[in-house]
A and B are shown apart, each in its own frame.
Chain A
Amino acid sequence: MSEAVRDCELRGGHAGHVTLRPLVRAQKIRTAAGERSEGWIDELRSDGAERDDAIGRLHALLLRAARFEVMRRARFVPHLRGGDLDDVALQSANDALVAVLAKLDRFRGQSRFTTWAYKFALLEAAVKVRRLAWQGREIPLEPTEWPRFADSGSSPHAQTERGERLGEISRAIDTELTPHQREVLVALALNEVPIDVLAERLGTTRGALYKTLHDARRKLRRALDPEEERGQADD
């Protein structure tokens, strides 16, 4: 890791916690390369002090994005204090920096470099907060009980229709899906377990889990509305 990044960690990290601010709106990120994406790429691919400087600025930018995300999600982790939250943001920025530098060749210039880089920091921070929010909690893979809904504002006909629809879906879940598809669908769609959390517990990836969810949903739609689903597939 470069000296520039180490300096950033010391200034913004464990040595002295930085107070999180609710918004970055008033903190426009200044960069020596300005808005020129090519400038970022050239500097990050250069050598010596120029590269170290660019990495330091990139880390600062990622840290700001990570703090932005952590603040948006702080209500989901009420047990964490400001210093803990800032540690999450710092770790997210560090991990995002590694990811950005490793994937520089995949930057295609179809957005500003800063927008491209932000998404890595936001992803790292979001995943970390979701996992912290579910730390120690059991992951429900079975529908212990379907949720009950207050329905005082609906007509009896509408209530019956909605109830019947959910009944059909429930039966299709039991009859159409593989056990793995059923577990994934129930956890993600019924019990609203975050996909990153389930991926970590099951030792798989977010992409693989979503593929399973997608296949399960498609089976259900085909079972419930064969004609409509066939029409979609033909489009």
Chain B
Amino acid sequence: MTDKTHPQEELARRLLGPAGPELGCDECFEELDRYVELELARGGDANAAVPGMRAHLDGCPACQEDYASLRALVEAEA
């Protein structure tokens, strides 16, 4: 999805950030393990269980990277 986004649109997205409520970095870290396991669980609705997480991951590259790493590690361990 983001691969096809025009660089100017991507820059505008980074500058304006996600609309709507989002977690902060500290709350994101607190919830990250639960969120990842819910995502990987069958039938788990991580975004409903942790409101504001997806928006924060869209707006914070560092937390997005941390999320991607944790998810990849847990998947590798499965």
Residues on A lying within 8 angstroms of B by beta carbon are 23-25, 28-29, 65, 68-69, 72, 110-112, 114-116, 118-119, 122-123, 126, 130, 147, 149, 151, 154, 162-163, 165-166, 169, 173, 185, 189-190, 192, 194-196, 206-207, 210-211, 213-214, 217-218, 220-221, 224, 228-229, 232, 235
Contacts and interface: CB of A to CB of B under 8 A. Distances in A.
Contacts of A185: 15
A157 B6 CA distance: 14
A232 B70 contact: no
A140 B57 CA distance: 24
Contact of A217 (B17, B29, B73): B17
A218 B15 CA distance: 10
Contact of B73 (A122, A224, A232): A122
A196 B61 CA distance: 11
B70 to A, nearest CB: 5
Contacts of A111: 33-34, 36-37
A49 B42 CA distance: 39
B interface residue count range (under 10 / 10 to 19 / 20 to 34 / 35 or more): 35 or more
A188 to B, nearest CB: 8
Interface in B36-78: 36-37, 59-62, 65-66, 69-70, 72-74, 76-77
Contacts of A214: 17, 22, 24, 59
B62 A115 contact: no
Interface centre among B65, B70, B76 (most CB of A within 10 A): B70
A111 B36 CA distance: 9
A147 B7 contact: yes
Contacts of B72: 68, 72
Nearest to B30: A106
B76 A68 contact: yes
Nearest to B8: A162
12 contacts: A24-B73, A25-B76, A69-B69, A116-B33, A119-B70, A122-B69, A122-B70, A149-B6, A214-B22, A217-B17, A218-B17, A224-B16
B9 interface: yes
Contact of B76 (A23, A211, A213): A23
A189 B14 contact: yes
Nearest to B37: A111
Interface string B1-20: 00000111101101111011
Contacts of B77: 24, 28-29, 114
Contacts of A29: 77
B37 A123 contact: no
B11 A119 contact: no
B66 A126 contact: yes
Contacts of A112: 33, 37
Interface centre among B9, B65, B69 (most CB of A within 10 A): B69
B72 to A, nearest CB: 8
Contacts of B12: 162, 165-166, 169
